[in-house]
């Protein structure tokens, strides 16, 4: 059998000649030899070689993969910067299936960490609470880690704590960053020629685009908030002279609604449109301030000229500190007190009330002003 397997068949025909002495053909030995060659040499032997070769190549690839894995683990162990929340982020990334489910999980986690039910987590409370979670190894958060997570307190509330919504925003960003880092680490095991690498790269690119859009929206929101605060201050200063009939709430609400509609209408030109709108808004504010200054009349500059009540109201910022001095409070005064305030800003001799300043303080005394006919 071995000789037949290796291809030496001469001795077989010497032992079992296919032609008998009477010149007849002996079919059985010849049929056996040919069937053995076809089944063993051409089928089983080739299959055995293919299986052995496949196992050899698989073992070789496994060895190369293990070497890469050890190298990556060694590099990661040598890194000084590592997110201590990785065990928690891995569990969260595996459990949630949609946005609503993630919100529910994060709110439940916040309730677990907020043991005193205060509605907020300070840096010390967050560090102490996260350490108690059942993870191995234990999660330890330092002050620098908390500052990095909250972007130097920018993601905290006004008290510098993490409320329910602030905690959810922070954890969502940490999960996105963790997913991105895991995808980058997984791509190191794949060769460039693998088709799956294209799919992984596409997912990573989509994730990066979402992170970029989210960052741009956050920056735009902060810029809009800053501009609206500036507009509110400018509107307060110039309201009496520019358009007294229009309230601050109506102006700010209308502007905010218009900007938000424009913000959501077109994602492509998001940054350019908002920047243009902000610049236009700044120009409008400057124009309002300039118009207000043109209409403002100072009673101190009027000299001996008589100042009416309307001029007193239009003159708002006497000390130049950006705040209304007395004009906004003027409308809430009683009629007699209005007369006292009005006369204190005007020429005493014109109203013939110079003897009403009993204490010499520069203002009419209330008792003396009661006798003045209105």
For the domain that residue 160 is a member of, what is the CATH number?
Answer: 1.10.238
Same domain? 280 vs 347: no
Same domain? 309 vs 290: no
pLDDT digits (tens, 9 = 90+) for 59-69: 988 898 888 88
- Is the pLDDT reported for residue 48 higher than 90? no
- Tell me whether residue 204 is in a domain: no
pLDDT, greater one: 72 or 361: 72
pLDDT classification of 205: cutoffs 50, 70, 90: low
Same domain? 156 vs 127: yes
- Tell me whether residue 159 is in a domain: yes
Report for 19-28, 164-173, 218-227, 294-303: range of highest mean pLDDT: 164-173
* Residue-level pLDDT at 208: 62
Q: Any idea which of 20-29, 159-168, 233-242 has the lowest mean pLDDT?
A: 233-242
Same domain? 259 vs 310: no
**% of residues, the chain, pLDDT over 70:** 47
Cis peptide before 137 (omega within 30 of 0): yes
Mean pLDDT over residues 273-283, rounded?
68
If one counts every other C-beta atom within 10 angstroms of the C-beta of residue 30, the result is 16
* Residue-level pLDDT at 348: 42
- Tell me whether residue 51 is in a domain: yes
Same domain? 286 vs 306: no
Domain count, the chain: 4
348 lies in which domain range? 299-369
- Is the pLDDT reported for residue 362 higher than 60? no
- Tell me whether residue 117 is in a domain: yes
Judge whether 256 and 228 are in contact, CB under 8 Å. yes
- Is the pLDDT reported for residue 346 higher than 50? no
119 sits in the region (left: phi over 0; alpha: psi -120 to 50; else beta) called left
Q: Which residues, 6 or more positions from 208, have their beta carbon under 8 angstroms from its beta carbon?
A: 180
Same domain? 168 vs 95: yes
Among candidate residues 227, 232, 215, 234, the one with its CA nearest the CA of residue 275? 227
* Residue-level pLDDT at 44: 80
* Residue-level pLDDT at 45: 78
Q: Could you give the CA distance from residue 347 to residue 351 in angstroms, rounded to a whole number?
A: 7
* Residue-level pLDDT at 220: 82
- Tell me whether residue 125 is in a domain: yes
Domain boundary among 249, 265, 295: 295
Domain boundary among 274, 295, 316: 295
Task: Give, in degrees to the nearest 5, the angle at Cα 169 between 167 and 175.
Answer: 100
* Residue-level pLDDT at 77: 58
Task: Write out the two tokens for 295.
Answer: 């209409």
* Residue-level pLDDT at 304: 36
Q: Could you give the CA distance from residue 161 to residue 157 in angstroms, rounded to a whole number?
A: 6
If one counts every other C-beta atom within 10 angstroms of the C-beta of residue 220, the result is 19
* Residue-level pLDDT at 226: 79
* Residue-level pLDDT at 161: 92
Same domain? 65 vs 27: yes
Same domain? 243 vs 290: yes
* Residue-level pLDDT at 359: 57
pLDDT, greater one: 329 or 18: 18
Instruction: Say what the pTM is.
Output: 0.40
pLDDT, greater one: 135 or 304: 135
* Residue-level pLDDT at 328: 47
pLDDT classification of 97: cutoffs 50, 70, 90: confident
Q: How far is CA 374 from CA 299, 330, 342, in A?
A: 21, 16, 12
- Tell me whether residue 209 is in a domain: no
* Residue-level pLDDT at 271: 60
pLDDT classification of 210: cutoffs 50, 70, 90: confident
Domain boundary among 268, 295, 322: 295
- Is the pLDDT reported for residue 189 higher than 80? no
Burial letters 262-282, b for 16+ CB under 10 A, else e? ebeeeeeebeebbeebbeebe
Same domain? 104 vs 181: yes
Average model confidence (pLDDT) for the chain? 69
Report for 11-20, 289-298, 349-358: range of highest mean pLDDT: 11-20
Same domain? 98 vs 171: yes
Report for 111-115, 236-240, 343-347, 362-366: range of highest mean pLDDT: 111-115
- Tell me whether residue 194 is in a domain: no
Q: Could you give the CA distance from residue 191 to residue 158 in angstroms, rounded to a whole number?
A: 49
Among candidate residues 327, 69, 33, 12, the one with its CA nearest the CA of residue 189? 69
Same domain? 125 vs 71: no
Same domain? 171 vs 118: yes
Tokens 């967050």 belong to 126
């Amino acid at each position: 059998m071995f000789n037949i397997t290796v291809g030496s068949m001469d001795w077989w025909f010497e032992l079992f000649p296919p032609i008998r002495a009477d010149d007849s053909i002996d079919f059985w030995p010849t049929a056996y030899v040919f069937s053995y060659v076809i089944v063993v040499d051409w089928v089983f032997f080739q299959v055995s070689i293919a299986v052995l070769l496949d196992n050899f190549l698989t073992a070789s690839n496994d060895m190369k993969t293990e070497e890469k894995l050890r190298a990556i683990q060694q590099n990661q162990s040598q890194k000084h910067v590592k997110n201590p929340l990785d065990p928690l982020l891995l569990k969260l990334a595996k459990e949630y299936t949609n946005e609503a489910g993630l919100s529910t999980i994060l709110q439940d986690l916040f309730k677990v960490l907020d043991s005193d039910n205060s509605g907020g987590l300070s840096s010390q409370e967050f560090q102490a609470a996260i350490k108690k979670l059942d993870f191995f190894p234990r999660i330890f958060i330092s002050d620098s880690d908390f500052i990095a997570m909250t972007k130097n307190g920018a993601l905290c509330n006004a008290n510098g704590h993490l409320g329910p919504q602030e905690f959810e925003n922070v954890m969502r960003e940490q999960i996105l960053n963790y997913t991105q880092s895991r995808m980058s680490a997984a791509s190191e095991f794949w060769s460039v020629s693998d088709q799956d690498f294209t799919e992984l790269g596409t997912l990573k690119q989509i994730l990066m685009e979402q992170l970029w859009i989210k960052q741009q929206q956050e920056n735009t929101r902060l810029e809009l908030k800053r501009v609206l605060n500036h507009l509110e201050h400018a509107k307060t200063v110039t309201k009496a002279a520019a358009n007294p009939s229009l309230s601050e709430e109506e102006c700010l609400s209308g502007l905010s609604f218009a900007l938000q509609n424009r913000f959501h209408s077109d994602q492509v030109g998001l940054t350019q449109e908002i920047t243009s709108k902000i610049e236009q808004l700044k120009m409008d504010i400057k124009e309002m301030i300039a118009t207000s200054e043109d209409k403002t009349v100072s009673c101190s500059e009027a000299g001996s000229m008589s100042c009416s009540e309307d001029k007193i109201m239009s003159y708002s910022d006497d000390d130049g500190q950006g705040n209304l001095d007395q004009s906004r409070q003027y409308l809430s005064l009683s009629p007699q007190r209005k007369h006292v305030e009005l006369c204190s800003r005007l020429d005493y001799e014109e109203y013939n009330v110079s003897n009403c300043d009993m204490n010499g303080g520069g203002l009419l005394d209330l008792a003396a002003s009661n006798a003045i006919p209105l």
